[in-house]
A and B are shown apart, each in its own frame.
Chain A
Amino acid sequence: NAGVTQTPKFQVLKTGQSMTLQCAQDMNHNSMYWYRQDPGMGLRLIYYSASEGTTDKGEVPNGYNVSRLNKREFSLRLESAAPSQTSVYFCASSEVSDEQFFGPGTRLTVL
């Protein structure tokens, strides 16, 4: 039982490049989330998926897109990376009205 897994663990991009962050959970949770963590700002919600087939914007969605591929997988795409997107990205999953379980994070640097 791996919980929530994220790939890659580290990534360096140049401005304008694109990439997709992958997230998978094996807990059969309906809801999945993407956050970014920046120093002194806690975690901010980028997008979430309350259930398979639905996605909604969170607090800071600009510059990102998401895909809920199936119940297990929820990917985050940066179409044209910018230095302001340098951050640590966390994926999480939960059942509605219960605690969220977090992945180990992806550390992204955009030069």
Chain B
Amino acid sequence: AQSVTQPDIHITVSEGASLELRCNYSYGATPYLFWYVQSPGQGLQLLLKYFSGDTLVQGIKGFEAEFKRSQSSFNLRKPSVHWSDAAEYFCAVATSNDYKLSFGAGTTVTVRA
């Protein structure tokens, strides 16, 4: 079965600084990879997804992620964070067999002024 690890439980970043969130997955074949964001008290919103093709994926809100098969990673980046980026971020993986999502435990991002 597939699994996802997000090594960082909590990250604090200054407004305007860059942000990188780590995600490692375990799955034998090529996975479908997703990043979701959850603002406090809200549901989850898709930031970006990777199915195939170009390994650098652009998403909404200025986020991007890079799929690295050799490292089993799908790290999320943003060059300059805004206070509104404070939220919890979830990496998820699905298989081509049944498309069920397995989520990481999440990374909480705090943005300081």
Complex contacts, B96 vs chain A, CB 8 Å: 97
Complex contacts, A31 vs chain B, CB 8 Å: 99
Complex contacts, A50 vs chain B, CB 8 Å: 98
A residues 55-111 near B (Cβ < 8 Å) are 58, 90, 92, 94, 96-97, 99-105
Complex contacts, A19 vs chain B, CB 8 Å: none
Taking a contact as CB atoms under 8 Å apart, the answer to whether B105 and A40 are in contact is yes
Complex contacts, B103 vs chain A, CB 8 Å: 42-44
B residues at A contact (CB < 8 Å): 4, 9, 32, 34, 36, 42-46, 49, 51, 90, 96, 98-106
Least Cβ distance of A18 to chain B in Å? 25
Taking a contact as CB atoms under 8 Å apart, the answer to whether B44 and A102 are in contact is yes
Taking a contact as CB atoms under 8 Å apart, the answer to whether B49 and A99 are in contact is yes
Query: Contact check: which of B36, B90, B99 meets A94 at CB < 8 Å?
Result: B99
Taking a contact as CB atoms under 8 Å apart, the answer to whether B99 and A97 are in contact is yes
| Closest B residue, CB atoms, query A41 | B105
| A interface, size bucket | 20 to 34
Query: Contact check: which of A44, A48, A90, A94 meets B44 at CB < 8 Å?
Result: A90
A31 CA / B45 CA spacing, docked (Å): 18
A43 CA / B49 CA spacing, docked (Å): 17
Taking a contact as CB atoms under 8 Å apart, the answer to whether A100 and B98 are in contact is no
A80 CA / B45 CA spacing, docked (Å): 32
Query: Contact check: which of B46, B90, B102, B106 meets A99 at CB < 8 Å?
Result: B46
Complex contacts, A94 vs chain B, CB 8 Å: 99
A48 CA / B98 CA spacing, docked (Å): 11
Please list 22 pairs of residues, one from A and one from B, whose beta carbons are closer than 8 Å in the complex, sorted by A's number: A33-B100, A40-B106, A42-B90, A42-B103, A42-B104, A42-B105, A43-B44, A43-B90, A45-B100, A45-B101, A45-B102, A90-B44, A96-B99, A99-B34, A99-B49, A101-B46, A102-B36, A102-B43, A103-B43, A104-B42, A105-B42, A105-B43
A56 CA / B29 CA spacing, docked (Å): 23
Complex contacts, A97 vs chain B, CB 8 Å: 32, 51, 96, 99
Complex contacts, A45 vs chain B, CB 8 Å: 100-102
Taking a contact as CB atoms under 8 Å apart, the answer to whether A100 and B43 are in contact is no
Complex contacts, A42 vs chain B, CB 8 Å: 4, 90, 103-106
